[in-house]
Amino acid sequence: MTRILIVEDNEKNMKLFRDILEYAGYETMQAATGREGLEMAMSNQADLVLLDIQLPDRDGVAVLHDIRSAVGKELPVLAVSASVMPDDQQRILASGFDGFITKPINVKGFLESVKAAVWREQ
């Protein structure tokens, strides 16, 4: 079963992402901080990470760099952010993310992005 690590500090978003993914047949793991997300990425066999950009303890871009250093570039990581300005999206993607999901999410688009990232990883 495909395992997805969700790193998100907003409880409502976390529940929404988890419920959608589990309904679609994915196994989920959750982390509410960048540090916790990094630790889980290092110790668990996730197939994909959904990483919020604005976390309470660290910037999501910094967490991405730590994940890349610790786990490697093979693990796909999608940025999840309410920043919808094109410049922000370009900056975030240029920092090394494999894709970008805007909040609030569109359920169909969200699942398509997840499926594409997981398929690309396999």
Q: How far apart are CA 94 and CA 76, in angstroms?
A: 14
Per-residue pLDDT, 83: 80
For the stretch 101-113, pLDDT in tens is 999 999 999 999 9
Task: Name the one residue in this structure whose structure tokens are 């090394």.
Answer: 96
N-to-C CA span, the chain: 12
Domains and CATH numbers, the chain: 3-121 (3.40.50.2300)
Say if residues 56 and 83 touch (Cβ distance below 8 Å): no
DSSP labels, 75-120: S-EEEEES---HHHHHHHHHTT-SEEEESSPPHHHHHHHHHHHHHH
pTM: 0.95
Find the angle CA(75)-CA(79)-CA(84) to the nearest 5 degrees: 160
pLDDT by residue (tens digit) across 36-52? Answer: 999 999 998 899 999 99
